Structure 1
Amino acid sequence: MTQGPGPYRIGVDVGGTNTDAAIIDIAGTDSESRGVCASSKTPTTADVTSGIHTVIENVLSKSAVDRKEVLSVAIGTTHFVNAVVEADGRRLSKVAVVRLCGPFTTQVPPFSDFPLALKEIMKGPVFYLHGGEEHNTKFHATASLLTVKATVKSIQEAGVTAVAVVGVFSPLDHRGLHEETCKRLMQEQDSSLSVVCSHTIGGVGLLERENATILNASILTLARRTVRAFCEAMVKLQLNCPLYLTQNDGTLTDAATAAELPIKTFASGPTNSMTGAAYLASLDRGIANARSETQVLVIDVGGTTSDVCALFPSGFPRQAPNFVEVGGVRTAFSMPEVLSVGLGGGSHVFYDSDTDRVQVGPESVGHYLTSKALVFGGEIMTTTDIVVASGKAEIGDVSKAHGIPSQVVAKARAQIKRILERAVEDMKVSDLPVTLLLVGGGSIVQMDDLEGVAECIIPPRHDSANAVGAAIAKVAGEVDIIEILADRDEKAVLEEAKHQAIEAAVSRGADRDSIKIVAIDKLPLQYVTNKATRLVLKAVGTLALPGPNVPAVNGAHMSGTTVHGINGDAEREAEKKFRQKVEVETLASSVKFSAFMDIDAYRPDVRDHVWYIAPVDLEFIATGTGVLGTGGGGPSYLQYLQCLESLRNSKGKGTMRVVAPESLQDADVCVFGSWYGAPSVSGERMPAGTEILTAVDYSVKLSGYTHFEAVIADEIGGGNGLSTFPTSVYYDIPVVDGDLMGRAYPSLEHGTPYVYGEPITPCVAADGKGNVAVVLKAESNRRVETMLRSQCVDLGLKIAVACTPLTGSAIKQYAIPNTVSQAWYIGRAVHQARRSKTNLIDAIFATAPGRLLYTGKIIDVKRDVSRGYTMGQCTIAPLSTEEQDPSSMTGDVSTSSPDDSRCLIIPFQNEYLFAAYADAANPDDTLRHEVICTVPDLISILGQDGEAIGSQELRYGLRVNVIGMSAHPLWTDDERGLRVGGPEGFGLDMKWKSLGPYQKPRSVVHEFNRVTV
């Protein structure tokens, strides 16, 4: 039947196996059909062009739409991410990494947290050159032309043509001056080099941005070839409309940009599927039945991968946290939290007759399914063949599947069921049953009931949900800038930034009248006095109707190049034979040791009262130090990677080990060195690795000591709780199981030995360039802090500090004992609860007694750095009925507030200071505050996965749990402790509000000790 006058949009999804298309009548989106006029599916072809041509011709024919009425074509593809998930060396290139960093960042080298399979394929030579910026966009000295020439020569000798250039703080200068200059110089030496600059890829956070840049560079050849094919299809179809590709966040980009930045489309397929599924089920209109006893998940099963995402009743997908893992690689993108596993309709089914073992995936025949699968006359057994052999579908020549032995079918089905159940479990956050929306052409592989899934819903047009999601995608404009707000009208500055974001969206094709500002992040920089603030804004609008000046096809000029098959002209043997023998879980990150072990059965290696640290111990401790960080202490993950590098390279050096405080002799000397500065800088200008060692060496010399026997953390909270371990290896001395705070605090004066009169000076500050500053003496401990802070600002907001060493006697008297163990027990509890899907909060409190203070959503974050450090306030509101997620692992929410209408406010000075119930209509009305917890007791804000959220990571919309734990008696039983570490020490007009009695943490050394002597 002929359709009306339109207008129409076409969405296409090019998967590894099938290509889908849907055409939508924009004027009919409120109808029962949601405006979907027609949809079609065809096998993805090796030349790409003919598959797209066929599927679009099909929907045009089915709908009888005049192609002149088609306003746009939007394409989403999983080809790029499939290559990464499969660790496919045929489609990935080795990448040379050039860091413009000066002496910094070397303690965490590139590829540090890459999965082993991807590292083997992608890792090329690494170079550290001069360049980069400071947080205030002040440039460092640039690399010389001679250095760049030598770098290019080394890259050529390595046979590498893809290069990732990563400059410290490059995203803050939109021109990416140092990166772009380096790229130009390199390509002047060798024009064949494909150089990707990190400032075009992501924001601040060097490791995550660098990882994404590496992936982008590795996939660049495939991306260019693929996008050329898309453009060629548009030309052959004679569609006189713009061509877009969908991005990770569900928005659009033009084809030419996507060819150079394919990483931004990595998750476009899953994102389109999830938004399309919600759209087709009318969840975006809140019509779907919100089941109070289940959680809603979507599984999109394609030909190569299955993608899983959790949905709220409103239809919006659960957003990823501060980073996203792609193929086990940690990257930073704004997109729904999607888990991809290597299971699809084209997945290989391997059978080893010698061991009678069956292995499903992760490799796939992809778009060769219709020629390679048994039912299509091929010789490769796939999951589709198993489905046919099971009598669950009639596809191809059914008789070809009858020869599969019944035990192989049974074992393959069992493994498919287990992979899907594992994927569902990994995306759940409780043991509640699941309501499952099943979409995608490969959904036939789900043959058996899944444990924990109460109901499975297949929406109309389910097999084209991805194409529908592409058709309804919008356009975004983003701004990421640093502004000096001192002596300026902040509202005016913000309005100008909004205007820039709106104009950016308009320039990318958004209808001006439809644009809304959907995200505003204000991130003040710490330890500066000019109110320097990073502003990140995002504007989103619907795609505008094309005007007379709109080009016929964006990027169509690329179509003149010969297009080859995406996977080459012929299938070749996979390079990595071992990948046929491992399960898809082994593609997880190589730094997640707990994922491959029985946590309940694990016992740490404690011999003769010495705890020898293993990688999994560091993983547990890193999670625990985050919880004990009470909002501060710096990021634990980067310090965890530094510890792993130290452990991996410790052969022939010292042993990483921990001893109990009571094992020290009174005359022993204990050193400490910690990181000092702004967390926002720590994640970008990573350390050189020499800073703490330099500070410790000078502090020992200046103190007059000639020996030292141990090292202790000044604060167990955050990354500083892990900073002792590399020091332990370097000097071959043990870490004392304790710290000087029992948590994180914002200044050195908060160390318990200093509260009770132990000397703090001489105090040494050192940076990665060899600069050393010393505070020999000060009128007070607070004065030491202000003097060090001046040095910190001058040296770039990230230094190491070491105070005068302490004796064993002082440690035993004034240190907080067993806090390394406490972090380990908390971390283990969190990982156990995730694995078993039990209550996270209960698991934490079983090992570290505390109290759940509140559960809700962050609705406001205010920050002020005018005093040289970050002061602020976080406001958390109860969840509305629509926002409540029945899968939350929070326990009894009724304990969070006696009055559900009240919100919770948490002021912070880097760390969280107190928690109080407040009037939701006027949270700043202090007269109506009911304080429920204050320093020195610990207040921690946790995400839904149990990971702590630092004060610098607080942002609107995060669903959180707030917990409190009691402080050590050194803080609470003596007025000297309360005067420094309690409300009075922070200028708060309130009394300490106790959570209850303190309970000494258990000791790993004592609990797991084995006597071998």
Structure 2
Amino acid sequence: MYRIGCDVGGTNTDAVLLDISRLSSSSKGVLATHKTTTTPNVTDGIRTAIEKVLVKSGVDRDEVINVAIGTTHFVNAVVEGDARRLDRVACVRLCGPYTRSIPPFSDYPYALREIVEGPCFHLDGGLEVDGREIKPLSPDQVRETADAIYSAGIRAVAIVGVFSALDHEGIHEERCRQLMLKSYPDLLIVTSNTIGGPGLLVRENATILNAAILRFAGRTIRGFRRAMHELALTCPLFLTQNDGTLIEASAAAKLPIKTFASGPTNSLMGAAFLQGHGTLQDLRDKQVLVVDIGGTTTDICALLPSGFPRKAASSVEIGGVRTAFSMPEVYSIGLGGGTRVRADDRGEVTIGPDSVGHNLVQDALVFGGETLTTSDIMVAAGVARIGDAEKVTALSRELVAAAVAGIKRTLEKAIDKMKVSASPAFVLLVGGGSVVFPPDMIMEHIKPIHHDSANAVGAAIAKIAGEIDVVEILAGRDEDQILEDAKQKAIAAAVARGASEKDVTIAELSKIPLQYVNNKATRLLVKAVGCLKTRPDSSQIVDSQSIDLDIMETDTSSAEAKPGSPRKLETASMAQPSLEIDLSSYRPKVHSGVWYVSAIDVEFCALGCGILGTGGGGSSHNVMLYVLDIIRTQGEGAIRVMSPDALNDDDICVFGSGYGAPSVSDERLQSGEEIPATVDELNKLLGHKSFQGIVAVEIGGGNGIVTFPTSARFSVPVIDCDLMGRAYPTAEHCTPYVYGHPVMPVAMADAKGNVSIVVRAENNTKLEGMLRTTCVELGNAVGVTGKPLDGRVIKEFAIPNTLSQAWFLGRAVHLARRNKIDFIEAIGDVTPVKLLYTGKIVDVSRDVSRGYTVGKCTIAPVLTDELRGGVRHETTKGSRNLIITFQNEYLIAYLEEAEPEQKREVLCVVPDLISILGSNGEALGSPDLRYGLQVKVIGMPAHPLWTATEQALRIGGPEFFKLDVPWRPLGEYQKPKSVIDVYNETT
């Protein structure tokens, strides 16, 4: 019984043939391998590679039980923006009145959007977080939409229902799909519930990409089948998925997006198998990393004790588009066997990142070429034995030594980046370019047998998986039974896809509670994994005598060989306007004391609001997309900002914010009518005919810029201040209310026209309880407005210049990225900041039993990636972990006790600000915290309004959150600069 694995890389296509009865032997069952140059039409290279291993091994082709192919073919079509391989897609949202604030395709790069964007439709349907229908699906609407799509010449459709992960019976997305197919059977339709879990925009993006590539994927897979037919192979054909498991070819043709990251995963799985699972079990005290060095790049993946890859912890970008499907965490660098090496007149040596790639055997010095590569360096150093060593004897010792040191530094930095703690790393080294790995690297490493074919081996030994990703409402139900049912569904899915019933086991199980919900809505992710059946079902066998004529269709993917193939897409994105300008010379438009907000300003403010959000405030990225769409349609004069000092004492200022569970607002996006409705109703109640300004309740997260759309709607300015100077979890955490000014009446509204106004409550704590109860009834994501306040109160009790502070913070981080400087230092030039800790997240726990999320994040120390005098220096205090507790917002950061009786060392506590930043300076909200993320934790002093009085500290400090520690100032507060004062131009 034999299996064939094939992996298509950018340089080479590898194939291997395994005898599965000899997998435990010293040869690991490998009977034959072959490496051939990847062809423009990938099917030709696959056919050649498989033919060679069949001939070398001499096996009976009827005894081959399956072929598994890993390919980057589909993802390349997206990354390259090839209009010949991508279709225009119509997007259908089942959402009722919601989600209109952010249209589909909003965060697509310009060039890709131009290729794939089709018409968009908002239909009745979708679910609330508790399973109630937002609105019943309308068959008439669906049929009319299908007519419009078809008449526009569109054949690819993405259907996205709000909370489709709750739609277990397919009552909306699946019914919509069936209704459309009944009218037009040739439509290619993808439903989002087959793609990912909660988070509407990222799930929608992935669904659209999948729909765009469907036609090309079907054609390509038919080409693969045709190649098998020509090779007289009648066994089932599988493709490898992002997680290292197999998907049957017909299923892959429907979900090609699940194969996008199969290349690095194949190498990782192959390395684990070739080294042996027993070895992995013996290495539980070490971090096992797979370093796959090819001709052009090095891919580094972390291997879990289960033998599966560590997943990426956050959303993954494909071709500049944020998506939400599961992918392994891979760190890639421009270092391979063909990487160019250069030396300048001063003797400075640089390594890459460009490469001669598949031209190595023509261009490298050791092969008679004229280009100095890393392979030449390693041959000259006596490490590698390839080509003709005589051809590199003229290289100076100094050059070779400097280049080897540079290669070593590059690899050490990359490997250290993938570590999650200071514990030792064990490297499994694979790939054809592994000759460039210096033998004196400080970490333990080994080359497994057949290391240069690990990618093809990984495809050949891949298992079958069944996955369940649903949201279940656990309140009042038997949780154990619900979990067991989910496990059995995952097992059944694996068996249905070809796994042997005898050895299917649960490989992964995650329970992720949704925040601020009182029905215990919980996302369940369950994966079952089993070995492929040794005898396939008859439905999976390809009959070479009666093969479908469609399989014999001409493989038009050979069009890729034609001249004029598109280059890779530019990185310019609708969500990243800063990429198109010179940041150092950019000046915001400020005339006569009024700041006219541009798209660049919105991007800066969104990033800065994330930093000031201390983990809360909702998604600043989503609100940024909302605002950018307004600026694109209404122009840069639509939103303006003025200083609080410009307010008259009797001017009326209104407020507005999102309120509820971030997990709900990320899925059931705003309609855009919620906050304006609360403003209108409250002004009507209070008799205000007009108002002169809008103030953000909190500058943190999305709520920091959610006032911008209100500014455009009412044509009144946003005031450069807020009522918190950060984000806080309750409505009573606003400085004017702390100092005795009334918050009531408070209005709350959803997108359906429901408005609730609380006129009176015994205190602000009771008010919060009343608001929370109403919010749950309205679906847990609403707009809220408190009683308007006059200009005198705003000038005295609001936190000034915080919108400017967010702008300067965002600009500083962007400039730091552009200029390759430390972003903590850049932030320090804007506001007083203290670096509290550098580390990697190793544990996150969350509890929602009290109706809101309370959690704890543990961050472990990491080591620097620089060698100073041969000694590694730690970048944080001692070797103790940092603990951060949060109630949506981060409340306290302290070092874990080294001894049981030792008093914990508190580094920062509310009201001072704690922010967790990712490796690129982007702030992480508490919902984004995931195992394995490398982070820097900073603290910033709070405004004196929070620290000047006992009453303020009682509400905004540790006592309110039942933290048994006193507040000690982190540092001295400094009033933020004003964008208006710095850039004002008078006319």
Same fold (TM over 0.5): yes
2:60 aligned with 1:72, yes or no? no
1:380-395 to 2 correspondence within 5 Å? 388=362
1:590 to 560, 574, 583: 574
1:649-660 to 2 correspondence within 5 Å? 649-651=633-635, 654-660=637-643
The match for 1:968 is 943
1:938 to 913, 937, 953: 913
For 1:730, what is the secondary structure of its paired residue? helix
Distance, in Å, in 1 between the alignment partners of 2:899 and 2:104 is: 48
* Closer, same or farther: CA 342–994 of 1 in aligned 2, 3 Å: closer
Distance, in Å, in 2 between the alignment partners of 1:774 and 1:157 is: 46
* Closer, same or farther: CA 818–671 of 1 in aligned 2, 3 Å: same
The match for 2:625 is 641
2:226 to 206, 226, 232: 232
Contact 2:268 2:290 in 1 (8 A): no
Contact 1:821 1:1001 in 2 (8 A): no
2:107 aligned with 1:123, yes or no? no
The match for 1:324 is 316
* Closer, same or farther: CA 505–389 of 1 in aligned 2, 3 Å: closer
Give the deviation of 1:695 after TM superposition. 1.5
Question: What do the CA deviations read for 1:840-879 (whole angstroms, capped 9, x no partner)?
Answer: 4444344333333344444443333333222x22241535
Question: What do the CA deviations read for 1:475-532 (whole angstroms, capped 9, x no partner)?
Answer: 3332223334445665565455445444444444446676664543322233333323
Give the deviation of 1:76 after TM superposition. 1.2
Distance, in Å, in 2 between the alignment partners of 1:548 and 1:469 is: 20
Amino acid at match of 2:222: R
2:685 aligned with 1:702, yes or no? yes
2:939 aligned with 1:951, yes or no? no
2:145 aligned with 1:151, yes or no? yes
1:768-787 to 2 correspondence within 5 Å? 768-787=751-770
Between 484-493 and 150-159, report the one with greater CA deviation.
484-493
1:599 to 569, 583, 589: 583
Distance, in Å, in 1 between the alignment partners of 2:571 and 2:548 is: 35
* Closer, same or farther: CA 88–340 of 1 in aligned 2, 3 Å: farther
The match for 1:1009 is 983
The match for 1:535 is 524
Contact 1:131 1:142 in 2 (8 A): yes
The match for 1:257 is 251
Give the deviation of 1:689 after TM superposition. 1.2
Give the deviation of 1:812 after TM superposition. 1.3
Contact 1:98 1:129 in 2 (8 A): yes
Give the deviation of 1:15 after TM superposition. 5.3
Give the deviation of 1:101 after TM superposition. 0.8
Amino acid at match of 1:874: K
Contact 1:46 1:567 in 2 (8 A): no
The match for 1:178 is 172
2:892 aligned with 1:917, yes or no? no
Give the deviation of 1:694 after TM superposition. 1.5
Question: What do the CA deviations read for 1:887-911 (whole angstroms, capped 9, x no partner)?
Answer: 89xx99857444x2x4443332222
Amino acid at match of 1:532: A
Question: What do the CA deviations read for 1:125-165 (whole angstroms, capped 9, x no partner)?
Answer: 11111111111222233343332222122112211111111
The match for 1:1000 is 974
For 2:258, what is the secondary structure of its paired residue? helix
Distance, in Å, in 2 between the alignment partners of 1:526 and 1:72 is: 45
Contact 1:633 1:744 in 2 (8 A): yes
1:751-770 to 2 correspondence within 5 Å? 751-770=734-753
Amino acid at match of 2:798: A
2:730 to 724, 747, 770: 747
Distance, in Å, in 1 between the alignment partners of 2:459 and 2:428 is: 18
For 2:784, what is the secondary structure of its paired residue? strand
Give the deviation of 1:796 after TM superposition. 1.0
Give the deviation of 1:715 after TM superposition. 0.6
Contact 1:258 1:265 in 2 (8 A): yes
The match for 2:186 is 192
* Closer, same or farther: CA 196–486 of 1 in aligned 2, 3 Å: closer
The match for 1:620 is 604
The match for 1:92 is 86
Contact 2:721 2:801 in 1 (8 A): yes
**Unaligned runs of at least 5 residues, structure 2:** 339-351, 370-402, 419-425
* Closer, same or farther: CA 436–533 of 1 in aligned 2, 3 Å: closer
Give the deviation of 1:701 after TM superposition. 2.5
The match for 1:113 is 107
Give the deviation of 1:67 after TM superposition. 4.3
2:534 aligned with 1:546, yes or no? yes
2:860 aligned with 1:878, yes or no? yes
Distance, in Å, in 1 between the alignment partners of 2:12 and 2:416 is: 34
For 2:623, what is the secondary structure of its paired residue? helix
1:481-880 to 2 correspondence within 5 Å? 481-486=470-475, 490=479, 493-510=482-499, 517-541=506-530, 543-547=531-535, 553=541, 559-568=548-557, 584=568, 586-651=570-635, 654-870=637-853, 872-878=854-860
Give the deviation of 1:836 after TM superposition. 4.3
For 2:583, what is the secondary structure of its paired residue? coil
Between 130-139 and 557-566, report the one with greater CA deviation.
557-566
The match for 2:463 is 474
Contact 1:604 1:1008 in 2 (8 A): no
Distance, in Å, in 2 between the alignment partners of 1:919 and 1:276 is: 41
**Unaligned runs of at least 5 residues, structure 1:** 1-6, 347-359, 363-381, 396-416
Distance, in Å, in 2 between the alignment partners of 1:877 and 1:29 is: 40
Contact 1:821 1:1004 in 2 (8 A): yes
The match for 1:379 is none
Give the deviation of 1:954 after TM superposition. 2.9
Question: What do the CA deviations read for 1:909-966 (whole angstroms, capped 9, x no partner)?
Answer: 22222233345899xx9x9655443221222233333322222233344444333222
Distance, in Å, in 2 between the alignment partners of 1:760 and 1:472 is: 63
Amino acid at match of 1:1002: P
Give the deviation of 1:88 after TM superposition. 1.0
Contact 2:125 2:138 in 1 (8 A): no
For 1:219, what is the secondary structure of its paired residue? helix
- Over the aligned positions, Cα root-mean-square deviation in angstroms equals 4.6
For 2:552, what is the secondary structure of its paired residue? coil
Question: What do the CA deviations read for 1:677-700 (whole angstroms, capped 9, x no partner)?
Answer: 111111111111111112122222
For 1:603, what is the secondary structure of its paired residue? coil
For 2:129, what is the secondary structure of its paired residue? coil
Amino acid at match of 2:911: P
Q: Percent identity?
A: 52
Contact 2:89 2:158 in 1 (8 A): yes
Contact 1:91 1:567 in 2 (8 A): no
TM-score by length of 2: 0.83
Distance, in Å, in 1 between the alignment partners of 2:79 and 2:588 is: 32
Distance, in Å, in 2 between the alignment partners of 1:523 and 1:313 is: 20
Distance, in Å, in 2 between the alignment partners of 1:62 and 1:50 is: 18
Amino acid at match of 1:713: A
Give the deviation of 1:277 after TM superposition. 6.7
Question: What do the CA deviations read for 1:206-254 (whole angstroms, capped 9, x no partner)?
Answer: 1111111111111111111222232333344444644221112222111
Question: What do the CA deviations read for 1:390-443 (whole angstroms, capped 9, x no partner)?
Answer: 878579xxxxxxxxxxxxxxxxxxxxx9xx99xx99x969999xx9999878x8
* Closer, same or farther: CA 18–127 of 1 in aligned 2, 3 Å: same
Amino acid at match of 2:953: L
For 1:985, what is the secondary structure of its paired residue? coil
For 1:260, what is the secondary structure of its paired residue? coil
TM-score by length of 1: 0.81
Tell me the number of residue pairs that the alignment of Structure 1 and Structure 2 aligns.
925
Contact 1:852 1:896 in 2 (8 A): no
* Closer, same or farther: CA 181–554 of 1 in aligned 2, 3 Å: farther
The match for 2:347 is none
